[in-house]
Each structure stands twice: as structure tokens, then as C-alpha cells.
Structure 1
């Protein structure tokens, strides 16, 4: 007996909220569902500020060979009147095989478009910003349930203390702990994870790249892949490392304690970057910026093989550092 065929996602998707990780996860869920039906489904991403009504119509038009397509339109709270009208008119009669995903930050700005999409039957996913400790604890418990595991109450607080408030890292840690423990997370498991996570995190890869340690960076990258660290975490760490170098380099050789407030970084991080940035000439940083931006886009849906995209980015960044 064969299994049931996968169901395609609804043709209209409205994702509301400002929690970036949850928004990206919701987009990825739509893309995964679409590719379960048609593995060749293409994804195209735009901001409303980049689109005219005519361009939107072109992207939402059926193709000659009826390939699947997911069109992601971000920043709907910034939409202009003409584009809002075009989106609303399309929503009344969406094209078969095309999924339109509209991202809206929430709030009153551009609310009429969100309301029109709801009236048109769009599937809504809420991704409200998570700022309170209790909400982060709820997020952790929800992740554990989603993965089919259990977590003892005391372990939730220990995990938040060990990992911090970043949802991407909390999700990665929860997934790894479920895998490590076989399904039940206790305080001891969290403490073991915290001791070992530095060597397998995206930041370990980024540190090696910034230092120009090619073999170390590639080894750290492959180790993180083996342990299941999400590619998006590594890509984010690479981007953060390059941004830090650029900001610290532009600030000059001032006192890290005085620069901390201006740069929004702790003094130790500034001091470390001041020692590293001397090895990066401006052209190398420009190449690294481009590589980081490209790999971030690739691991969020544009690349068939995110692991290969990460390795290519690591090599490209170190090549730029070594070029004179």
C-alpha cells in the first residue's frame, strides 16, 4: 500500500511578526511543503521596495512548463498603494502552482494589505517578537514537544542560562540535546552540552576564518556539520564576524572600554577584533562581506547544498585574507 501524496501548501501565505528566526522557519516550512509536491520548486525573494506591480505580475504569471514557484515578498508593512492593490487583486484569483508568501511586521502600518489577504483566505502564521524570559522558556518547551521529547522543568532555566536568548541557538541546542539524550533532557545533559558547544558552534568556524586558519576552519565546519549545527547558524556567525571586523576597523585603535558604548560591543570583543583586523585589508573585507551575504541567502533556500555553500564561502573568505 502506498502512502498518501503530500498536500501542497495554500497558495496564499501571510506571515506576521518581527521574530526573524520564526519568520524564516515559517517561510522554510512553506518551501519544504511545496518541494514535497514538486522537488524542482523555485523560490524567489523580494522586498516590497524592490517591486513594481508589473514586476510582481511577471513573477506570479504561470510559466510555460508549469514549474512550481514560491514567491516571498517581505516588508509588506512598507508597501505602497499601487503594489498593495496588485497583491490584493492577485489574491482574489491566485495562479495554480504558485505560492505567494507575504511577510508583514505587524502593527498598524500597511495593515489594510494584511487584512485583505486574510479576507482572501490566506493561511496566517504569527511570529511575534519574543522578549520575555517566560516566553523564551515557552519556546524551549515548545521545541522539545515539536521534536517529540521531554524536558524536566529545572533544565529549561539551565538551558536558557547556558545558551542565552538567541532563538536560533536555543533551537539548535534543543535539537542537539534531544538527539544526544534519546528524548529526555535533564540538567546534567544541558551542562554537558554547554561544555562542548563552543567547539561545534558557528562561532568556532568564524574565529578560525578570521584568524586565517584554513585547515582549522574547514575542520571546525565539518565537525559542526557532523553534529547537526544548522547551516544558518554558521552563516550568521560568519556574517557577524565580518561585521565586527569592519566596525572595529573603521573605529580605529581607540580604547576598547571607551569604544564599547559607541560600537555596541563588549570591550573584550573589540580588543580581540583590533588584533585581528590588521590582517584584513579593505579589499579582503569587501570580498568577505560579499561571501557572507551570498552564503546567508544560499542557506536560507537558494542553495541545493547548504554545506557545500558554507565550505565555498569559508575558502573564499580565507583566500581574500591571504591575497596581497
Structure 2
């Protein structure tokens, strides 16, 4: 049964708490999406869909482990037939537990909103209702506020957007840690770089490596599986140019372009590495302290410090200005984005103005 919230253990220990704005204005237990627990009402909020899917599946698995006769029903809040919520949560003849998964609460109909608010006043015994709201609109805000006030005995699973490289790195590291699979830091960094724009694809790639690779995951394994990704090619171009290997950088760039790489993410990858180098340059803090202050990982700080070998303030400033110019040109300010990229790689690799 799920008649009472099972998030109290998280509240006592701190384990399972989610960070972000929802927790600050919520009176109900906040659970991590990797460790959800059922309650009469489970609010799954935030835009990160892969985390929300995992959380909802986790609630289902928890309930099914308790009772395999669990009845599961899916509803859409935007295409709702009046009376359905009460019908599917009401006890059946044999009293099986019920799980009702409601999607699209951010675009819910008036009928669903009214019935959901009424349901919170008197949740059905043995029923768990999962409300999925991605935060894209303020529609349903009254329902969310009511759940967060504690009415209905709910818990909240926050799934905030994963935007920073360090957050993606943490996400991937936890994927391997949860599966008890070891992955080398360099391999993890390469994997995150390969899927920098899509957390769902990153999650799928992690699971593929976990399922397919019998031993430790090395950088060579990641390269073998995902070496063709555009983002990986982009960082390879950036690495060779920053290291001053001019000829190799141009060959790598042309290979990436011939393979269909888009100039925009290529410039973005190069600019990202240059910005990290600039943030780290001249700072004598320990890697751990500096990483914590800048929102980076220790290995990113260590890598940036290695990349700074042979650079000075003038050459780094020139490279950053060249990257800004190339960024504008590949986004439409120039008719020849390939030339803009080649000029950028030349400036970085030679650490001198173009044509000098």
C-alpha cells in the first residue's frame, strides 16, 4: 500500500533530497530522481525528461516489488474525460494497489484541474497518483502549489535541467556508479563531450557501454564506440590546435567537416576550452578548490592547466577574440564558414595573428 508518504527517511538523513527552487518553496519531502519512493501523490517536476522517466519507472518498480498485482493506468491531463481519475483510483473488487501516471499536467484541461484538486482532499487508499509537470508553462500552478503545501500527503521529485558540463559529468558518473561499472576519468570526459547536447542520448550511451563492455570502460573503448560523434571530433580539433600541432589540427578539422560536422558546434567546442583555460590561468588554488568555485571538475581544471603550457596572456586573449569572431561568422556573418574555422585553427595553433 502507499497510503502514507515513504519519503520520511530521506527527510531525516538528507539522502534523496533534490536541490533547486522547488525544494525551497515546498513543504513536502524532496526526493532524488534516482531514488524515488511512492506516496499518495508523487509530483515529478522539471524539464529533464530522461530523469523524469527514470523517476516514474522507479515508483512503478517499487510498487510492483511490493505487490506484483499492481494495476497501472496512464492518463493525459490535456485530453481528460471527466470522472476518470476517481474511477481509476477507486478500490477494485480484489483490492489491488493502483498506480495512475498522469502526463501533460503543464497543459491540463479545466476538468482535470478541478478533479485533481478535489482528489487531493481525499486520496484513495492504496492508490499512488504520479503527476508529471515539465515546467514549460504555469498551467496547473494551483495544483502544484496545493501538492507542495502538503495537501494529499505527497512527495516531490525534482528534475531540473542539466546544463553545465560538470552536471552532465556527474550524471554520467552516477550512471556507471549505480551499475557498479568502472570508467576511467578520461573516458568519462570523452563520453560527456560526445553527447554534450542531449542528456537522453548520453544516458543511452552510458547504458550501452554498461551492458556491452565486460570490464572497465577505457578511453579507447569510448573512442571505438562513439569516436564518430561530431562533438568528439570538435574537441579533437580543439585539443590539437591548442597543443600547437598546426598541421594535425588542420587535417583533423578537414576530416571532421568531410564527415558532416557542423561548423557551429566545432567553434563552440574550441571556444569552451579557451574559456576554461582563461578562467584557470594564473590561479594558484588547488584543483579541488578551484573546480568547486568555478563549477568545474578537478580533471577539467587539471586539463586546462596542462593546455596552458606555452600560452601567455596575449596569445590567449588573441585566441579568445578570434573564437568570438569565428562564432559570429559561422552563424551567418560570413559567406565562408569553413574559411572562418580554418583561420581560427591557424590563430590558435600558431598563437599568432592570421597571416603573420
TM-score, normalised by the number of residues in structure 2: 0.48
Q: Name 2:157's counterpart in structure 1.
A: 125
Q: Name 1:26's counterpart in structure 2.
A: 55
**Aligned-pair distance for 1:169?**
3.0
**Aligned-pair distance for 1:33?**
1.0
Q: 2:73 aligns with which of 44, 51, 60?
A: 44
Q: 1:22, 1:165 → 2: CA distance?
A: 15
Q: Name 1:99's counterpart in structure 2.
A: 128
CA shift digits 1:244-302 (9 cap, x unpaired): xxxxxxxxxxxxxxxxxxxxxxxxxxxxxxxxxxxxxxxxxxxxxxxxxxxxxxxxxxx
The reply on whether 1:114 has 2:144 as its aligned counterpart is yes
Q: Name 2:198's counterpart in structure 1.
A: 166
Equivalences, count? 191
CA shift digits 1:138-185 (9 cap, x unpaired): 221221222234433322221134455333332232234345556643
The structure-2 alpha-carbon separation of the partners of 1:37 and 1:146, relative to structure 1 and needing over 3 Å to count, comes to: same
Q: Name 2:112's counterpart in structure 1.
A: 83
The structure-2 alpha-carbon separation of the partners of 1:156 and 1:89, relative to structure 1 and needing over 3 Å to count, comes to: same
Q: 2:109, 2:184 → 1: CA distance?
A: 49
Q: 2:210, 2:228 → 1: CA distance?
A: 15
Asked if 2 retains the 8 angstrom alpha-carbon contact of 1:163 and 1:194, the reply is: no
- Structure 2 residue matching 1:185: 3-state secondary structure: coil
- In the TM superposition, 1:140-179 aligns within 5 A as 140-163=172-195, 165-179=197-211
The structure-2 alpha-carbon separation of the partners of 1:78 and 1:179, relative to structure 1 and needing over 3 Å to count, comes to: closer
- Structure 1 residue matching 2:160: 3-state secondary structure: coil
Specify the structure having the higher radius of gyration (Cα).
2
CA shift digits 1:172-225 (9 cap, x unpaired): 32234345556643312322333699xxxxxxxxxxxxxxxxxxxxxxxxxxxx
**Aligned-pair distance for 1:71?**
0.8
Q: 1:161, 1:138 → 2: CA distance?
A: 13
**Aligned-pair distance for 1:47?**
1.4
- Structure 1 residue matching 2:129: 3-state secondary structure: strand
Q: 2:89, 2:62 → 1: CA distance?
A: 19
Structure 1 gaps of 5+ residues are 1-6, 198-324
- Structure 2 residue matching 1:125: 3-state secondary structure: strand
Q: 2:197, 2:211 → 1: CA distance?
A: 21
The structure-2 alpha-carbon separation of the partners of 1:75 and 1:179, relative to structure 1 and needing over 3 Å to count, comes to: closer
Asked if 2 retains the 8 angstrom alpha-carbon contact of 1:48 and 1:79, the reply is: yes
Q: Name 2:309's counterpart in structure 1.
A: none
- Structure 1 residue matching 2:78: 3-state secondary structure: helix
TM-score, normalised by the number of residues in structure 1: 0.52
**Aligned-pair distance for 1:100?**
0.4
Q: Name 1:230's counterpart in structure 2.
A: none
Q: Name 1:135's counterpart in structure 2.
A: 167
The reply on whether 1:56 has 2:85 as its aligned counterpart is yes
Asked if 1 retains the 8 angstrom alpha-carbon contact of 2:79 and 2:109, the reply is: no
- In the TM superposition, 1:283-322 aligns within 5 A as none
Q: 2:228, 2:70 → 1: CA distance?
A: 38
Asked if 2 retains the 8 angstrom alpha-carbon contact of 1:148 and 1:183, the reply is: no
